[in-house]
Structure 1
Amino acid sequence: MYKAISLLTILAASTVMADQTVTLNDGRQVILHDNFTWQYVAETPPDEAESLTSDKPQLVAIPLIDKKVASMIKLDSNHPSMQLSDSGVDLLLGAPSYVDGKLIIPTSITNQSLNSVILIEIEIEVSGIDKKALTKKSVTIWQSIKRMPETYLRPQQVKKGKDIELDVVKQDQYFISANITSLINR
């Protein structure tokens, strides 16, 4: 009798601890792992499915996001130019203006992460309408003072960042692309 109970216990435990494949309402499949994690099952094209000999479902990863953003901007516009995001920090490039031979783009930062931010650097490239590069520059948008926590950009804070100033020939429109190249938290 004890052998039968032990065998049933082992069989029940092995079914609980095994990975399970579940089909969602929209037809996608996911694997539920015994450590409470999950992954999508990769869909394979019919010609590839025939060549696969493994009984294990193929796993798929979430695709990487290209963090470089591009936009066409107009000098007479009152609309923000673009938004860059990285690790819970959002950087808004505001409406551009042209003053004393420089393209000026104001910035504001929203820290939606759980950590304080001490440095944000971006790389920005400005091109004409023909997409011929006019300038490319690295700009420090936010930098706190070392060992002065009151200068940190705290979680859930919104602050004005440093204006981006670029020496370019005046045009009505520019094509800009930018990405956050460095983000340091404390």
Structure 2
Amino acid sequence: MKLTRCSSFLGLLLVSNVYAGQQVVQLEDGRQAVLNDDFTWKYLDVSGDEKVTKPASVVSSDLPTAAPTATSVAASTSLVAGASIVVLDGDNTQVAVEHSGVEINLVGTQWNDGYLVIDTEITNNGLQPVIKADLKIDVYDLQGNLLASEEHAVFRSIKRMADTYLRPQQTKQGSTIKIELPQQEQYQILSEISELDHRG
């Protein structure tokens, strides 16, 4: 009897150590999932048969109440590694990418006449003025299917007009990106700064 209590205690201790820094959530279908700090998740199955998913980053805050919770996202999506889930017309959804001290923010997404429309903002945290910045964007649906892969000019200065450069510690509105896509309420977006030119 004493041995059984001791082994039960040790089992509980091991489980609590395994899931330290993690969150267990109950899904709508009754299953449980473990959400990790590195944005990965897996089903929690007492039989030990757990399904591990790919990591993803959800870069959004204070989403509207109609937006899916972490549990419904985990249950209904095939997450793309490194992608951010964006909600159309989600005022507080923001995706940021950085390269060499330059940060490009996707500050708003909306649907307009057959296009996903994304507003951008660019900030120069580096030491040299920026004259050109391009962004590569891959857009996926929630099942992980690639819908579009495009490169867009986010910022261009006017040649030899220094007042049009993006100076250090300066933020400017970037171009508006339009991508022809089938309409959905949410997308997964994977983006990177593909080209960046400075004026020395």
Aligned to 2:115: 102
The higher radius of gyration belongs to 1
Change (3 A) 1:73 1:172: same
1:129 alignment partner, one of 135, 142, 161 = 142
Counterpart check, 1:117 vs 2:130: yes
Give the secondary structure class of the aligned counterpart of 1:108. Answer: strand
TM-score, length-scaled by structure 2: 0.57
Matches of 1:174 and 1:129, distance apart in 2: 6
Instruction: Name the amino acid aligned to 1:159.
Output: K
Aligned position for 2:45: none
Stretches of 4+ moved more than 6 A in 1?
none
TM-score computed with the length of structure 1 as normaliser: 0.61
- Deviation sequence 1:58-101 (CA, Å, 0-9, x none): xxxxxxxxxx9520111141123310111111111112100111
Give secondary structure in 1 for the equivalent of 2:104: strand
Q: Give the drift of 1:184.
A: 0.6
Does structure 1 retain, via aligned residues, the 8 Å contact 2:139–2:146?
yes
Mean alpha-carbon deviation: is it higher for 115-124 or for 79-88? 79-88
What RMSD over aligned residues (CA atoms) do the two structures have, in Å? 1.3
1:72 matches 2:85: yes
Q: What corresponds to 2:191 in structure 1?
A: 178
Deviation string for 1:88-132 (max 9, x for gaps)? 111111121001111011000111111100000110011111111
Spell out the pairing of 1:1-186 with structure 2 (5 A cutoff): 69-186=82-199
For 2:191 and 2:151, the matched residues in 1 are separated by 10
Distance 2:141 2:83 in 1: 13
Residue-pair matches, total: 119
In the aligned structure 2, how far is the partner of 1:77 from the partner of 1:161?
A: 19
